[in-house]
Amino acid sequence: MALDPSTLAVSLGRGDRGPGSPMDVPPVLSSTFVAGGQYVYGRDGNPTWEPFEEVVGALEGGAAVAFASGLAAISAVIESLPAGAVVVLPAGAYTGTRRLVADLATRGRVTGRLVDLTDTAATLAAVEGAALLWLESPSNPLLEIADVPALAEGAKERGALVAMDNTFSTPLLQRPLDLGVQVVVHSATKLLSGHSDVVMGVAVARDEALVQSLRSRRSLHGGIPGPVETFLALRGLRTLPIRLERAQATAADLARRLAGHAKVEKVRYPGFATVVSFDVEGGAASADAVCAAVRLIVPATSLGGVETMVERRGKVAGEEHLPPGLIRMSVGLEHADDLWADLEQALGR
Ligand SMILES: *Cc1c(COP(=O)(O)O)cnc(C)c1O
């Protein structure tokens, strides 16, 4: 019988279970290894990576390759494309992904085509002649939903590789490889590690050649995760299922309460996951005032930590197209009533 993801998150990646062996594989702080064994040099492999990769791989249903950051994992996918390749990506993709493709395009490395991912037909028309379709659903921070199976199938028919950023959902809510996607990436900085103390990324694929290519990119470009970061990310990953369950319940509760608040014009919540975006009356000035007035909630960029965070995304460079009064809230593990009391007092200012 297949084990439940919550069991896999706890039980895999333990290494040797012989008498006297440590419960957790310790971080191996070594840049090189005595010749003749499995490990040679620290940029090519470190024994701390595998336990983390084993757990993420089992949850996503593929082979995982850990990276120094989410963007290092995204870069590895894009760097696997030939020179001049066309990349189709959502106009609502994570800012860093859009900026990376735009930067590469200025030097002719790739050509970016921005699409509205909620329009399946238009997206597939743009995939004609493209090497890669990049998916992100729900999107950050508008939380729009794409028809992933239809897009993956259509892109495959047109000969494009299909990649998906699954940071917002985690493999517990959505397994892109089961939906026809070929490579999944995560900012492990967010929900996977979950404690706002690590910057890390991971890519997962089933195709052996693709997995080998990702490992090569990691060694050649050097975007490797540190052993201590990897240890911490796995430590956080053990509790992902229970953190997600709690944060999701609180997010749904707050989304409902926000929808009934007089100062809130619009609530964006797809009904799952842990980010709620909401537009306040009065635009940028009002949203900035709310973010400055919260006491318990932390005004900070990033998401997926145990702490609830808010940010007016329109103030971020490259995000000026967003509604000015939009606040992105990443819901953490504080009690819903305490969070609501803080939001009410901040909205009441
Ligand atoms: C944060 C984030 C990234 C980038 O990850 P880093 O770990 O910061 O490099 C990519 N995609 C999404 C959806 C993110 O939220």
DSSP codes of every residue in 104-157: HHHTTSEEEEEE-TT-HHHHHHHHTT-SEEEEESS-TTT-----HHHHHHHHHH
CB 170 within 8 A of CB 6: no
Model confidence at 16: pLDDT above 90: no
96 CB near ligand 1 (under 6 Å):
yes
Residue 237 has pLDDT above 90, yes or no: yes
For residue 133, the model assigns a pLDDT of 98
- 196 alpha carbon – ligand 1 mean position (Å): 13
Q: Residue 24: CB partners within 8 Å, gap ≥ 6?
A: 14, 231, 234, 235
Within its chain, how far is the Cα of 102 from the centroid?
Answer: 20
Cα angle for residues 18, 60, 237 (degrees, 5° grid)? 55
- Encoded tokens for 236: 């956080």
What pLDDT score was predicted for residue 317? 86
Atom 6 (ligand 1): residue with closest C-alpha? Answer: 70
Q: Which atom of ligand 1 is nearest to the CA of 189?
A: 7
Contacts of 234 (CB under 8 A, 6+ apart): 13, 24, 51, 52, 55
Q: How many residues does the chain have?
A: 349
d(CA 287, CA 280): 6
Q: CA nearest 310: which of 264, 272, 270?
A: 264
Determine whether 165 is an active site residue. Answer: yes
Q: In what order do the strands lie in the sheet with 161-165?
A: 63-67, 201-205, 183-187, 161-165, 132-136, 85-90, 110-115
Report the predicted TM-score, pTM, of the whole model to 2 decimal places.
0.97
Which atom of ligand 1 is closest in space to residue 303's alpha carbon? 15
Q: Quick one: pLDDT at residue 79?
A: 96
- Asked whether 163 lines ligand 1 (CB < 6 A), one says no
pLDDT category at 320 given cuts 50, 70, 90 is confident
Cα dihedral: 233, 236, 237, 238 (round 10): 130
Residue 251 pLDDT > 80: yes
CA distance 134 to 171: 17
Crossing angle of the two packed helices 208-221 and 70-79, in degrees rounded to 10: 110
How high does pLDDT run on average in the chain?
Answer: 97
Top pLDDT among 286 and 16 is at 286
Beta strand residue intervals within the chain, DSSP E: 63-67, 85-90, 110-115, 132-136, 161-165, 183-187, 201-205, 264-268, 275-280, 298-299, 309-312, 326-330
Candidates 67, 94, 198: which one to mutate for ligand 1, based on the most atoms within 8 Å of Cβ?
A: 94
Compute the distance between CA of residue 96 and CA of residue 102 in angstroms, rounded to an integer: 10
For residue 64, pLDDT beyond 80: yes
| Ligand 1 atom having least distance to the Cα of 302 | 1
190 is catalytic: yes
d(CA 31, CA 42): 5
- For residue 313, report the distance from its CA to the centre of ligand 1, in Å: 14
User: Which entry of 190, 238, 312, 328 is annotated as an active-site residue?
Assistant: 190
CA of 197 to the centre of ligand 1 (A): 14
Which residues have a Cβ under 8 Å from the Cβ of 211 and sit 6 or more positions away?
A: 62, 63, 65, 205
Q: Give the active site residue among 165, 279, 288, 342.
A: 165
Start-to-end C-alpha separation, the chain: 54
Q: Is the pLDDT of residue 1 over 80?
A: no
Any atom of ligand 1 within 6 Å of the Cβ of 134: no
Best mutation site among 136, 143, 189 for ligand 1 pocket (most ligand atoms within 8 Å of CB): 189
Average pLDDT over residues 126-134: 98
Atom of ligand 1 nearest to the CA of 140: 13
Kindly tell me if the per-residue pLDDT of 178 is higher than 90: yes
Nearest Cα residue to atom 2 of ligand 1: 187
* pLDDT band per the 50, 70, 90 thresholds, residue 318: confident
Residue 229: predicted pLDDT? 98
